[in-house]
Chain A
Amino acid sequence: MPSYHLDHLQHLETEAIHILREVAGEFERPALLFSGGKDSICLLRLAEKAFRPSEFPLPLLNVDTGHHFPELNDFRDRRAAELGARLIVRTVEDAIARGIAQPAPGEISRNRLQIPTLLAAIEEFRFDCCIGGARRDEEKARAKERFFSFRDAFGQWDPKNQRPEIWNLYNARLNPGENMRVFPLSNWTELDVWEYIRRERLEVPSIYFSHERRCVRRGGQWLPVNNLVPPRPAEEVRDLVVRVRTIGDIISTGCVESRASTVDDIIAEIAAARVTERGSRADDRASEAAMEDRKKAGYF
């Protein structure tokens, strides 16, 4: 008598594949947001499992802030080419030049400016659905997110007026101009993602593993020193052995001191971790409701 048992990763996998295929079945012009980060790497493998041996029925889309880690963009481009997927990149730089995004005086962070850039790309290609790698365990506002997250014609998320999501029946109906964000990894945790990377033997960008890097102490974090983050006078600068746990922009991603050089090391490190993944992201620490406000405005 065979035991018809799925372990937790297999459960999460079949749920995510089901969601990806619902997107392919229900939407006219979907896209998959691919940054090269660990979560979207898992999404790509799930897309292979959902759609092979066919080609992906949707292009990959990335909003390039111009402040990405160069290692990440290299990885993004190479991975898309290996998979034979169509990759669309739209840059914040270009959005600023075209007046779509306006930086505030003195605003260095590109975080806020990703929003109009993404919304412009959605309009340009008339995407009706964008698949993202967000997880509910990342942040409190994310915890209230649906798998199929409805956005109005302005790209806004209204947490008080979400469609109830019952069983595995997803309401994908839209009126013209409206948009859906779909998050197949909603039920995954950071540990699940790394366990899946291990099980599937997925390649990830090198900056997730420990390496030497010059860092500057700022706001209680170690930020990577580069031409966008020059050390200010009297700031502490050190050469450290670090890795990144979550990848945002190079100006706001804190490095954590780590000797983790394999996927197994990372899994052991996370299992013993005492701070959350987004604890190293300055953009979330701005205020208690930072993520909620960005999501309402159309953030990923």
Chain B
Amino acid sequence: MYTEEHLAPVATPPPPVDILRFNTCGSVDDGKSTLIGRLLYDSKSLMEDQIEALERSADLTGGGGINLANLTDGLRAEREQGITIDVAYRYFATPRRKFIIADTPGHVQYTRNMVTGASTANLSIVLVDARAGVIEQSRRHTAIAALLRIPHLVVAVNKMDLVGWSEERFREIRAQFEEFLPRLGIQDVTFIPMSALNGDNVVEASAHTPWYRGPTLLGHLETVHVASDWNLAGLRLPVQWVNRPNRPRDTALHDFRGYSGQIAGGVLRRGQEVVALPSGLISRVKEIWTYDGAVEEAFCPQSVTVVLEHDVDLGRGGMVIGREQPPGVGCDLTARVCWMHPRALQPGRKFLLKHTTQTVPVVVPELLNRLDLETLEPAAAPASLAMNDIGEIRLRTAQPLFFDAYARNRLTGSFILIEPGTHATVAAGLLDEPREFVRPEGAEYVI
């Protein structure tokens, strides 16, 4: 058995490497899988056995040549049908960054997968076929990226080789996007002309685009400034699990009662005055316990265990907040939802709503509007929301929710709806601005 001698003394720690999470979206045949294959291949992130496996399967679908799409289309059904049916995650690293790719299919009935892949992304790549230009799918994908408030967008104008590397065509497509982008409120958009199949402007700069002075795709991914997605403004610690050691004879731990969770917003400091929700009782942070020792402060998205000075009534589903910037509170809510289930949403239906660590019964009394993804305008109150529809709805929960607008905090502003019985996840929801806020004035805040 090996022991310490195998652990060479740890040299100076390497500089922090950060993570960029991005997703790719486009229509069938826009060349998404080929683009990811090209990124992996040209950044030398592929291994010999993966290339061998590609060569083994080349005869089936690739007409003899290596088919880069086979790298990501992992399931047999996908290879047979030549489409991507689910979100696939890929990993690669360069000396500057680690990358997590969510490869999300563009086929119209799989929008739920795009929402899944995009919900944790820092950046979205929308692929456009240079021959086809902006189509309904391009608008839909861009709208979803905007809805989910993904900070950075890349429009990859692909298959430029098939339009003779025409600068004019590239500008036309750019203009098509710029017609509707302002309405979506996306801050940072980069357009890149490329050919994923041939590798132009993916990792290596292309000789065919002397008129393009921007970065290659990888160059952009490596350097784009990932402004912190994490909200450091108002303390939010949803309690996941109450940590109570069962050691009656250990005096140090006899009275230990910690509240474990991942900080969903703000900074937690030892000695800080905090409010326990839903009771509204005020206490003070006695200790921030971690396995690696107590710390003076911790921040979003760290996972910690907090010990309070007083015995407050607090368990899973509760939340520790600061005295500043209190969250909203209420049972009557409005939110935008992406409907993800074949059984359409109709007013009056009941679900379970999971928000942070709390799951509560909820009824949907009213559908307010449906977003027309072609015009990107909200259309009048619909009779129902079908799969892949995005619309605004009213919700009434059985217990009050403590929440923020999604625009302020992705973690405390989001929820999912679960259908009772089947337990299917039927919707992803983004909460609107609260109408009432928690007023932590002693114990008698008013809802």
B289 on the A face (CB < 8 A): yes
Evaluate whether A191 and B93 lie within 8 angstroms (CB atoms) in the complex, with A75-B1, A167-B120 already known: yes
Cross-chain contact A136 with B232 (CB below 8 angstroms) = no
Which of B1, B49, B50, B425 is A164 in contact with, Cβ under 8 Å? B425
Q: Chain A: how many interface residues by the 8 Å CB criterion?
A: 73
The segment from B154-162, B215-223, B414-422 found at the interface with A is B414-422
Closest residue on chain B to residue A51 by CB atoms: B243
Cross-chain contact B115 with A166 (CB below 8 angstroms) = yes
Cross-chain contact B414 with A49 (CB below 8 angstroms) = no
A259 on the B face (CB < 8 A): no
Closest residue on chain A to residue B290 by CB atoms: A49
Cross-chain contact B89 with A141 (CB below 8 angstroms) = no
Q: Chain B: how many interface residues by the 8 Å CB criterion?
A: 83
**Bound form: Cα–Cα A4–B269 in Å:** 13
Cross-chain contact B240 with A140 (CB below 8 angstroms) = no
Evaluate whether A143 and B90 lie within 8 angstroms (CB atoms) in the complex, with A21-B260, A292-B76 already known: yes
Closest residue on chain A to residue B74 by CB atoms: A140
Q: Contact mask A6-37 → B, CB, 8 Å, 1/0?
A: 11101101110110011011000000000000
Closest CB of chain B to A102's CB: distance in Å? 26
A263 on the B face (CB < 8 A): yes
**Bound form: Cα–Cα A5–B243 in Å:** 26
**Bound form: Cα–Cα A249–B199 in Å:** 41
Which of B49, B291, B354 is A279 in contact with, Cβ under 8 Å? B49
Cross-chain contact A167 with B411 (CB below 8 angstroms) = yes
**What chain B residues lie within 8 Å of A164 (beta carbons)?**
112-113, 115-116, 340, 425, 428
CB<8 Å pairs between A and B, sample of 16: A4-B299, A13-B303, A14-B301, A17-B303, A21-B261, A51-B241, A53-B289, A143-B72, A143-B74, A159-B85, A168-B262, A275-B47, A276-B49, A279-B48, A279-B49, A288-B56
Interface residues in chain B, defined as those with a beta carbon under 8 Å from any beta carbon in chain A: 1-3, 6-8, 10-11, 16-19, 47-50, 53, 56-57, 72, 74-77, 79, 85-91, 93, 98, 100, 112-113, 115-116, 119-120, 228, 230, 232, 240-241, 243-246, 253, 256, 258, 260-262, 267, 289-292, 297, 299-303, 316, 340, 352, 354-355, 357, 410-411, 414-416, 418, 423-425, 428
10 other A-B residue contacts (CB within 8 Å) besides A141-B74, A279-B48: A14-B303, A53-B258, A143-B88, A163-B424, A164-B113, A164-B340, A171-B416, A198-B7, A201-B7, A292-B75
